Amino acid sequence: MEIFVLVVSFVILLAIGVPVAFSIGVSTMLTLLVSIDSLPAFTTLAQRMATGLDSFALLAIPFFVLAGQLMNRGGIAARLIDFAKSLVGMFPGGLAYVNILACMLFGAISGSAAAAASAIGGFMNSRMVKEGYSPQFSAAVNVTSATTGLVIPPSNVLIVYSLASGGVSIAALFLAGYVPGILAGLFIMIVAGIWAYRKKFPVGDRFSLGYAARKFLEALPSLLLLVVVIGGIVAGIFTATEASAVAVLYTLVLSMLIYREVKVKDLPSILLETVSTTAIVMLLIGTSIGMSWAMSYENIPQSVTEVLLNVSDNKIVVLLIINLILLFVGIFMDMTPAVLIFTPIFLPVVQELGMNPVHFGIVMVLNLCIGLCTPPVGSVLFIGCSVANVSIDKVIKPLLPIFLAMIAALMLVTYIPEISLWLPQVFGF
């Protein structure tokens, strides 16, 4: 009965347009109200939300959000685009490669797919259209490549997964995300290259080695953020939360003193945007933690484990089923609540089959990244289309082959654990 109330109420609330965070909270409340143990629903949900948010690791999220806002305003995007253009701009469809590579770099540095789609798309779409690319194609490569930054660290979603999984090492997750994120980006580039060849998109200018070196030096201070943050975490100099504070300090100095793109008068609006974004994320996390607890209380994860293992004890089949479910979930649910709700459900299943929780975390995040590019809840899709000034229905055609490429990358990462686990093993995690 409780499971039925939880699922049906949640689906109905989403279907009538109730925001995801409120849908999660209300459906959890209804589930607790009909519980056979007659729990004090309001008090229990409030306590679980407060307890779940009382985590030192979650403090990293507002800091990384603030660092991303500073990067978005600090002139970092333009320098990364110029650097990317010096590397791949001379190939057929070069500007598409530039868009993808710049999104990967900016997304990795900022930890935000939305920021990457907005910042890089704002620069690249007009340039690509001017060079003869269709705005639909430009938006498609921008939207999909922006999501790779959620796999390549530092990533807020990987921090959320660490919380939901019961304490999987954030440093191991960060290291594990590099190769899968780069692999997904390369698959997107392959599709973009084939599309560019078929459509006969223009070839960019060939740049000298000196030009490339100069653009690399201009972008180097931005790229060093990855070395400072990830290197500090892996070396044990600071935790992920402390690293997020270091990232804010570093980007503040970079944006205000080195690039001089951010002024003191800009800080109030940057802080306001950070607070607004953080509040939304924390509300999603709080209600999702409440729903996760309710599901655990009703033994839903154990029931799902039994059902899946009864369907098949073949690891390949079970992982395929889980991936299909997550792909479907990603279409209708934002990434953060999806990770918090479904990690406690599926993690026991894959651990029963001998899968490393670090590996599963990367598979889950890479899977849900695809959902950010799909209607009706694809936030990055909406941002990318808005920046490119095109309607969503016109972007679907160039998106479809890229979706297939991302799913192909997902299957490789799912069934070849070494893609994710190689780097963590090298560094002893």
36-47, pLDDT tens digit by residue?
566 677 788 888
Nearest to 68 by CA among 295, 240, 255: 255
Cα–Cα distances in angstroms (integers) from residue 46 to residues 151, 190, 336, 408, in the given order: 31, 48, 19, 41
- Tokens 């689906």 sit on residue: 11
Beta-bridge partners for 203: 92
Higher pLDDT residue, 199 or 263?
A: 263
Binned at pLDDT 50, 70 and 90, residue 416 comes out as: very high
Which element (helix H / strand E) includes 32?
helix 20-33
Highest-confidence segment of 26-35, 63-72, 359-368: 359-368
- What's the rounded mean pLDDT across residues 209-213? 79
Binned at pLDDT 50, 70 and 90, residue 377 comes out as: low
Cβ-contact 92, 137 below 8 angstroms: no
Binned at pLDDT 50, 70 and 90, residue 161 comes out as: very high
Instruction: For 222-242, write each residue's pLDDT tens digit.
Output: 888 878 888 888 788 888 788
Instruction: For 138-159, write each residue's pLDDT tens digit.
Output: 888 888 988 888 888 888 888 8
Global pTM value: 0.84
Share of the chain above pLDDT 70, in %: 96
SS3 call for 92: strand
* Total tally of structural domains belonging to the chain: 1
Listing DSSP states for 373-402 in one string gives TSTTT-HHHHHHHHHHT--HHHHHHHHHHH
Name the residue range of residue 143's domain.
2-426
Instruction: Show contacts of 180-183: CB within 8 Å, 24+ apart.
Output: 180/151, 180/362, 180/366, 180/409, 180/413, 180/419, 180/420, 181/104, 181/108, 181/148, 181/149, 181/151, 181/152, 181/366, 182/104, 182/148, 182/152, 183/409, 183/412, 183/413, 183/419
Residues constituting the chain: 429
- Tokens 């100099």 sit on residue: 237
Q: Residue 38's pLDDT is what?
A: 63
Position 360 pLDDT exceeds 90: yes
Q: Residue 159's pLDDT is what?
A: 87
Highest-confidence segment of 200-209, 264-273, 297-306, 405-414: 405-414
Query: What is the Cα–Cα distance from 403 to 202, expressed in whole angstroms?
Result: 24
